[in-house]
Amino acid sequence: MNLIFEISNKGARCATIRKPDVKSAKINKKYARAEKPELPEVSEVDFARHYTALSRRAFGVDTGFYPLGSCTMKYNPKINEEVAALEGFTQIHPLQPEDSVQGALEVIETLGGYLAEITGMEGVTLQPNAGAHGEYTGLLLIKAYHAARGDTKRTKVIVPDSAHGTNPASAVMAGFEIINVPSDEEKGVDLEALKGVVGEDTAALMLTNPTTLGLFEKNIKEISKIIHNAGGLLYYDGANLNAVMGIVRPGDMGFDVVHLNLHKTFSTPHGGGGPGSGPVGCKKELVQFLPNPAVVKTDKGYKFDCGKKSIGKVASYYGNFGVYVRALAYITALGAEGIKSAAEHAVLNANYLKVNIEDLYPTEKGRHCMHEFVVSMQDLKDKTGVSAMDIAKTMIDRGYHPPTMYFPLIIHEALMFEPTETENKRTLDEVIAALREIYEEAFKDPEYMKAAPHHAQIGRPDEVKAARQPIVRYKKPE
């Protein structure tokens, strides 16, 4: 496909712009560019066709089933986009004085309050721009908490092997050393192993719940006791809160800090790098360390408030404001009952898909899953040579986005399905039928599957090279 620069026609225009009725300003030469920028020149019809063609090559939640485990690729109501696009929100500047942006501050304060209620926490910052950024921020709060008590020998963060990959990475960035704990036979945290590693150097335990296997950590109270008795804090990775929201609260489970992914659970479409938001909630003892500025409600309206013990700013201005608006619109529309119902449907859909394929796609035996589940295709691979990757690629040919592959690492030939709460039974039944056919196909024509996809724009790119040496800038032919 041609780039828009390649279909450029000198003099073509999409729009006619009225002559300005104000005098043009003089710009100091040192700020002016020497040459005109090279911009594509196209007519409106070429412009429309170009971007429509591009959009049709992309797969998204609006095109089809997208069960990418742990990512919560659910359908988000379009009305929330409209609310976020209201001029009163998009045309304000982050440096405007408080009294001129009371509505925006009310959004921040109200949303923070709702999220505190949903998570069972006493303070919330919305600043972090992603889940991993929230983890980093939460760990800085934990570090500040220990430091303020003069407890400086707590340098280690315990991370179970079923945690999301960002957890250990964030802990290292926050300056901690990682201690891994294995899973027990039920794929929860191995309590004996945990007792063996906690001590006076434990700063925190980071737990992803439900785990990356989509299982609820049964021993959460026991884990909480072990960590707190050792003087450590408990961190909850709540990126996938759609599994439990409205039903249980991290704060009530004994957690001290939690982050959420608004771009997964609370109605911001994501993928392709953003925008995201990873608010962090914490218990009372940690509130004083939250990032500055906080937004507080006073008798005279909403105000910024800077605490002296704060860890400081973690994002430019106030974070991704448009994401807050979507989340607030979503929570307000659903209400307490709707939030709970969304979680129930996320879990119901995952279990429905699971029980209807697990005779062929084996999963953790005898357990209900939460919002997602992981299957192991090792047995099929041993019998036919068809791998989890080949199944994923075959799904593309059938118009479905593949599930998450080869993660978590503790399961061989893993596929992680997360259907999300927004799929209906008809779609799930179609997917179940397709997955059952794909399984049969592995025995009938494994070679065909190993060469899949046969009907996609691209087949099997070199993923390592694409990640390590990405070519993201167009070079004009000489």
Ligand X SMILES: *Cc1c(COP(=O)(O)O)cnc(C)c1O
Note the residue count of the chain: 478
Q: How far apart are CA 282 and CA 141, in angstroms?
A: 9
Give me Rg for the CA atoms of the chain: 25
268 scored as a contact of ligand X (CB under 6 A): no
Q: Kindly state the number of chain residues that form the binding site for ligand X, as judged by CB under 6 A.
A: 13
Q: How far apart are CA 313 and CA 216, in angstroms?
A: 34
Smallest separation (angstroms) from ligand X to the CB of 178: 15
Smallest separation (angstroms) from ligand X to the CB of 166: 4
Q: And the tokens for 152?
A: 């400086």
Smallest separation (angstroms) from ligand X to the CB of 333: 23
Residue number, 261 or 387, with CB nearest to ligand X? 261
> Which residues 19-38 are close enough to bind ligand X by CB under 6 A?
none
Residue number, 239 or 374, with CB nearest to ligand X? 239
> Which residues 55-114 are close enough to bind ligand X by CB under 6 A?
70
Smallest separation (angstroms) from ligand X to the CB of 409: 14
What character string, x for contact with ligand X (CB under 6 A) and - otherwise, covers 177-216?
A: -------------------------------x--------
Residue number, 236 or 439, with CB nearest to ligand X? 236
Q: And the tokens for 125?
A: 């910052």
> Which residues 123-162 are close enough to bind ligand X by CB under 6 A?
130-132
Among 119, 183, 261, 267, binds ligand X (CB under 6 A): 261
> Per DSSP, what are the bridge partners of residue 396?
none
Smallest separation (angstroms) from ligand X to the CB of 271: 10
Q: How far apart are CA 47 and CA 53, in angstroms?
A: 10
Please state, in angstroms and as integers, the Cα–Cα distance from residue 457 to each residue in 46, 65, 132, following that order: 21, 18, 31
Residue number, 20 or 272, with CB nearest to ligand X? 272
Smallest separation (angstroms) from ligand X to the CB of 427: 22
Smallest separation (angstroms) from ligand X to the CB of 265: 10
Residue number, 263 or 393, with CB nearest to ligand X? 263
Among 188, 232, 246, 276, binds ligand X (CB under 6 A): 276
> Which residues 297-356 are close enough to bind ligand X by CB under 6 A?
none
Three-point CA angle 217, 339, 210, nearest 5°: 15
Q: Which residues bind ligand X (CB under 6 A)?
A: 70, 130-132, 164, 166, 208, 237, 239-240, 261, 276, 278
